[in-house]
Structure formats: C-alpha cells, structure tokens
Amino acid sequence: MAGPPDDPPEGPLYVYGIVRRGFRPRPGLTGVGDAAVFAVPEGPLAALASATGSASEPPGAGGPPGEPAVGDASLQATADAHRRVVDAAAAAVCVLPTRLGTVHRDVQEVRRTLAARTDLYRRLLARLDGRLEWGVKAYAQDEEAVPVGAGPVADCAGEPTDGLARAAHHTLADVAECSCVYSPQDACPAGAPPGAAAACATSAYWTSPIARAPYPHGRNLLDSAYLVPREAAGAFAETVGGLAARSPALRIELTGPWAPYSFTEPGRLPGFSG
C-alpha cells in the first residue's frame, strides 16, 4: 500500500471520501486529472484526496469549498475519476463518499474539516461498515399497464407514486436495511436537439450518484437505492430477480454493489441521531 507523499501538494485538493486512519490508496491509483491519490490523516480519520490536476480546474474548484460541482463539459470524466477512487477504497474498507466536485483550498482545510466532524464521521463509518449500496431502476415495458395520470415522480414520503413501482419498492425495502428513492428521470425524447443526450447523462448522474449513462428509452418509474449488509447481498439479488420474473410490465435493472453513496447523510439512516 502506498503512503502519502512526503510533501502534500500545495493549493486546492479534490476530496473523494473519508476512511479510517491507516488506510492507504493502492500504488498507481489516480483521480481527477490523473493526479495521484493519497490519504490526508487527521485524528482517527483520513481523507482520500489528490491535487486538482494540472490539465484544468475540476468542476467546483472556483466555488465554495465542499460544494458539489455544477454542469461542465468535463463532468463525466470527473464523475468517472471520483467513482474509480471510491470503488478502489470500498473494495478494502468502509468509505464515506463525498459529493461530486468536493474541493478544499489546501491540506490544512481538509484537516480542519475532518477535525470538526470527527464524531459524526466516526459514527457514520461504524453504522455503514459491512454494508453496500445496490441500485434498482424500473421502466414501463407496457405503457397500458401504467395507471393514467401516474407520473414518474416520488411523493413526499419518498416512495414512487406508480402502483407497480411502489409494490416493487416495498418488497425490496423489506429485504434491505434501509432505502432511498430518487425522483426518476425519463430518457431523452426522440428527436431531441443536439447536446440533449449529454444533458440527460448529467441529470441522471445528479439524480442517482451511481448512474453512468443516460436512461434508456422508456418511462422510468423507480430510481432507488438500498443499503444491504454484505452477507445479505445474495438474498437481495434473488428478490430483484423474482420481481423481474413476476412483473412483465416492468423492466427492472439492478446495479452494484457500490459504496454507500446514498446513505452518508444521517437523515437517511433510521435511528441515526445527529
């Protein structure tokens, strides 16, 4: 395992996630702008970070530290680099992914942030240890099977409004430890103007941090994430397969496992205070 550089780079740092102190990124791991990834330790924690890259400033570098990136031509490349670093860490340890485009002014600011939030981050790491995120999306195979007037949105309770999608979500939520429902996004309509596909890809990414590409054609009825203990992954996947077999009106897609992107906010973890 590679240790941090003797002299951390000066200037802005892109931060990918928070881990327990002692973890070191694997040799050769690079992030945004192909910059080397290293750990910034502070107390019992460490942040996975890199220089912002020599080619150009990453999205968010010009804005307030810690704020997510905005739409940019390099968004997809930044997203891929962010996910690559988080996935590499999640293969070995529990990691709290930061939001896409999280940039701090320098290494001292990274350490101040870790110090100020030590208790919260420690409790989140303990709560999420041994758990992974799975994503499930459902699309209408047969529009006639979808109730008239049922829009592809989530209601205030965080559940899909369509009856078929709601039933599928409830079944999966019973197997998972907890869940998070996003507002589904439909595919770009046929005949959309040039550049619309890229806009849809951006929208998909922001709606669900684990999305990789524009939604396929079809009415999206469910875009949800489920927190599942590692040992229950097989049972969860079997449940998804059973739903797909019993629901010919829906096309159900399963992605994962991922780091717990959707569950690093305390409000999304039942029973988690603060």
pLDDT at 7: 63
Greatest pairwise CA separation for the chain in angstroms:
63
Helices 233-246, 163-175: crossing angle, 10 deg rounding:
160
pLDDT at 249: 86
pLDDT at 76: 84
Class of domain 131-268: alpha beta
pLDDT at 103: 94
pLDDT in tens, the chain (274 residues): 444 444 667 889 999 999 999 999 999 999 999 999 999 999 999 999 999 864 344 444 333 334 444 444 478 889 999 999 999 999 999 999 999 989 999 999 999 999 999 999 999 999 999 999 999 999 887 655 444 444 444 443 455 657 888 899 999 999 999 999 888 765 554 444 444 444 444 333 333 444 444 445 568 888 999 999 999 999 999 999 999 998 888 889 999 899 999 999 888 888 777 6
Reported as half-sphere exposure (CB side, CA atoms, 13 A), residue 218 has a value of 17
Strand residue runs (E) in the chain: 13-20, 38-42, 45-51, 96-97, 103-104, 131-140, 178-182, 219-229, 250-258
Q: Taking the CA atoms of the chain, what radius of gyration do you get in angstroms?
A: 20
CA torsion through residues 3, 9, 125, 170, sign: negative
Domain extent listing, the chain: 13-128, 131-268
Q: What are phi and psi of 225, to 5 degrees?
A: -125, 145
Query: b or e along 29-40 (b: 16 or more beta carbons within 10 Å of the residue's beta carbon)?
Result: bebbbebbbbbb
CA torsion through residues 235, 241, 243, 245, sign: negative
pLDDT at 25: 94
Nearest alpha-carbon partner for 59 in 8, 96, 25, 99: 99
